[in-house]
């Protein structure tokens, strides 16, 4: 099984078009055993396609693939697998009700006589888990009993069990909670130590800097640069990715006289997940809500919006106490929620850009249909959606454009209070910037914005004030421009740090 020989893969001049539209236009990439090679680029830069070429899912139109110096051609994923290349996809492919070992050897079960050799299956799986240093998982555990991070380990073990020496990982932290990300870092480092070559595709700048040895940047399907991670700064990287200098990342904060009256007030509120909440958000203000995953950040958003309502305390909108017990009430009061899962509950993916933009207006309001006709284009221009037209289905848009459509559907009802949960998760740098500017723009027009984000630079860069949650309750409030250390100190329950 897994030996110590390092595998090298070299892709040279890879080109690939879909229906005549070039997606990759001559990309070079070299993967070495024992090295983490990150590929970065905006959505649509060609990262996923490159990964699929490597995995044998797509055949390149031009260019060569060499494994250990010998040129190869993959007719399908099975060929790539035989060459020792495996991909860990964003969506997990495990069967939840089967055991770890059964999943690892799914479809390739070792047999003895007429029967599946369970003992060997379990033993081999255990050996691989040990090799990785993952003793917290037992081969006989049902996958449904594992955490998301552990399931990722199983995916990796599954790949290793096919003697993979090259692993491609596509946004591996997207599904993970904050504390699980560290576990993944550890795992990736262990894989590197054991001579595996890793292709790491991610949007998150910090991860790439933490983990990778080299970084390749793609833009519009073209190879831009490849350099050792130590020789690049995050500014360099952004410049390479967007092809321009973004300079200052965030729009200006609100000046004191930009702030209007309190639009949203939560007083002494709580439910099963959060307690003792006192929040005020003024017109023109962006209030950041920080906290670790599971600290109750999103629970606050869901409670304000009536998904899981508060059971205690008072919610006031424009100074009037309201009982918000379901989303419909919230929408009609002028509260909007951009959820953290835009594909799961933000958009109807098979509907058109137009239908999604008008969804809130149609679903929640009545008698407003007459207004619904004319201004879709204006809304889409405002959020700078790039689509083939209003009738394109939103599932064909990039993540950034999808998120802009989510924002457009709320702008269509002119909310007073906008709650955004991870507004820039999984979208590219250019779209992030557009979303940030849009949020600030809305605040300037008198919307009260409550913003949740796991990305501290974003949260700090955007917020006029930061509320930090810890374990379901507010841990403190910090002024604009507080340091990451101060936020983390409160979020981890260590009181106000010295850096505030």
Residue numbers of the site for other proteins (CB under 8 A)?
17-23, 43-44, 46, 48-49, 52, 220-221, 305, 307, 327-328, 330-332, 337, 339, 344-351, 355-356, 358-365, 369, 372, 377, 380-381, 384-388, 390-393, 396-398, 409
Please tell me the chain's helix, strand, coil percentages from 3-state DSSP, rounded to the nearest 5: 35, 25, 40
Residue placing its CB nearer to other proteins in the complex, 48 or 150: 48
Residue placing its CB nearer to other proteins in the complex, 214 or 361: 361
Output the smallest distance, CB 368 to other proteins, in A.
8
Q: Apex CA 167: angle with CA 26 and CA 455, to 5°?
A: 85
Residue placing its CB nearer to other proteins in the complex, 6 or 349: 349
CA separation for the pair 448, 453 (Å, rounded): 16
CA separation for the pair 224, 218 (Å, rounded): 5
Residue placing its CB nearer to other proteins in the complex, 200 or 305: 305
Residue placing its CB nearer to other proteins in the complex, 49 or 295: 49
Q: Are β-strands 70-72 and 62-67 bridged in parallel, bridged antiparallel, or unpaired? A: antiparallel
Beta bridge partners of 237: none
CA separation for the pair 470, 493 (Å, rounded): 6
Residue placing its CB nearer to other proteins in the complex, 292 or 359: 359
Output the smallest distance, CB 236 to other proteins, in A.
22
CA separation for the pair 128, 137 (Å, rounded): 11
Query: 51 phi and psi, to 5 degrees?
Result: -60, -40
* Torsion of the alpha carbons at 172, 173, 179 and 182, rounded to the nearest 10: 60
Output the smallest distance, CB 364 to other proteins, in A.
3
* Torsion of the alpha carbons at 461, 462, 468 and 473, rounded to the nearest 10: -160
CA separation for the pair 155, 176 (Å, rounded): 14
Output the smallest distance, CB 413 to other proteins, in A.
8
Output the smallest distance, CB 79 to other proteins, in A.
20
Residue placing its CB nearer to other proteins in the complex, 102 or 421: 421
Residue placing its CB nearer to other proteins in the complex, 210 or 308: 308
What's the order of all strands across the beta sheet hosting 166-170?
85-88, 166-170, 197-201, 36-40, 214-219, 222-228
Residue placing its CB nearer to other proteins in the complex, 82 or 343: 343
> Scanning the structure block, which residue is given the tokens 């269509």?
412
Output the smallest distance, CB 137 to other proteins, in A.
31
Q: Which two tokens stand for residue 46?
A: 């060609």
In 5-141, beta strands by DSSP E: 9-18, 21-31, 36-40, 62-67, 70-72, 85-88, 111-112, 115-116
Output the smallest distance, CB 156 to other proteins, in A.
24
Output the smallest distance, CB 175 to other proteins, in A.
18
Output the smallest distance, CB 43 to other proteins, in A.
7
């Amino acid at each position: 099984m897994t030996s110590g020989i390092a595998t090298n893969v070299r892709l040279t001049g890879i080109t690939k078009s879909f229906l005549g539209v070039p997606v990759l236009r001559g990309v070079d990439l070299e993967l070495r055993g024992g090295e983490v090679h990150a590929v970065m680029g905006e959505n649509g830069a060609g990262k996923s396609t490159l990964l699929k070429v490597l995995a044998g899912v797509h055949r390149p139109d031009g260019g060569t693939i060499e494994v250990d110096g010998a040129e190869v051609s993959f007719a399908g994923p099975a060929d790539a697998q035989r060459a020792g290349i495996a991909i860990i996809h964003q969506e997990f492919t495990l069967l939840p009700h089967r055991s770890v070992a059964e999943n690892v050897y799914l479809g390739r079960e070792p047999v003895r006589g007429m029967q599946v050799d369970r003992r060997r299956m379990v033993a081999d799986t255990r050996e691989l888990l040990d090799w990785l240093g993952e003793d917290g998982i037992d081969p006989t555990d049902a996958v449904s009993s594992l955490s998301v991070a552990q399931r990722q380990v199983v995916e990796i073990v599954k790949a290793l069990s096919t003697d993979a020496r090259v692993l491609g990982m596509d946004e591996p932290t997207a599904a993970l909670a904050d504390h699980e990300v560290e576990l993944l870092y550890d795992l990736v480092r262990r894989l590197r130590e054991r001579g595996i070559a890793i292709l790491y595709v991610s949007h998150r700048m910090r991860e790439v800097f933490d983990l990778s040895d080299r970084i390749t940047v793609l833009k519009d399907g073209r190879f831009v640069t490849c350099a050792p991670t130590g020789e690049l700064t995050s500014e360099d990287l952004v410049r390479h990715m967007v092809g321009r200098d973004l300079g200052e990342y965030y729009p200006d904060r609100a000046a004191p006289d930009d702030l209007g009256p309190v639009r949203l007030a939560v007083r002494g509120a709580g439910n099963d997940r959060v307690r003792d909440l006192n929040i005020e958000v003024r017109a023109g203000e962006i209030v950041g809500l920080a906290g670790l995953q599971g600290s109750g950040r999103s629970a606050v958003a869901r409670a304000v919006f009536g998904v899981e309502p508060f059971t205690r305390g008072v919610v006031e909108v424009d100074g009037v106490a309201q009982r918000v017990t379901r989303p419909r009430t919230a929408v009609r009061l002028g509260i909007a929620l951009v959820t953290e899962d835009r594909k799961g509950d933000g958009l109807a993916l098979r509907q058109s850009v137009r239908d999604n933009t008008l969804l809130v207006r149609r679903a929640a309001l009545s008698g407003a249909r007459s207004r619904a006709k004319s201004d879709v284009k204006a809304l889409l221009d405002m959020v700078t959606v790039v689509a083939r037209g209003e009738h394109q289905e939103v599932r064909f848009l990039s993540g950034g454009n999808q998120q802009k459509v989510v924002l457009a559907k709320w702008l269509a009802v002119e909310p007073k209070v906008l709650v955004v949960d991870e507004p820039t998760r999984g979208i590219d740098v250019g779209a992030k910037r557009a979303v940030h500017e849009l949020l600030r723009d809305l605040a300037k027009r008198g919307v009260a914005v409550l913003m949740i984000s796991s990305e501290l630079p974003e949260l700090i860069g955007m917020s006029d004030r930061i509320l930090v949650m810890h374990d379901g309750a507010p841990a403190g409030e910090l002024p604009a421009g507080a340091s990451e250390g101060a936020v983390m100190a409160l979020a981890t329950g260590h009181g106000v740090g010295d850096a505030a």
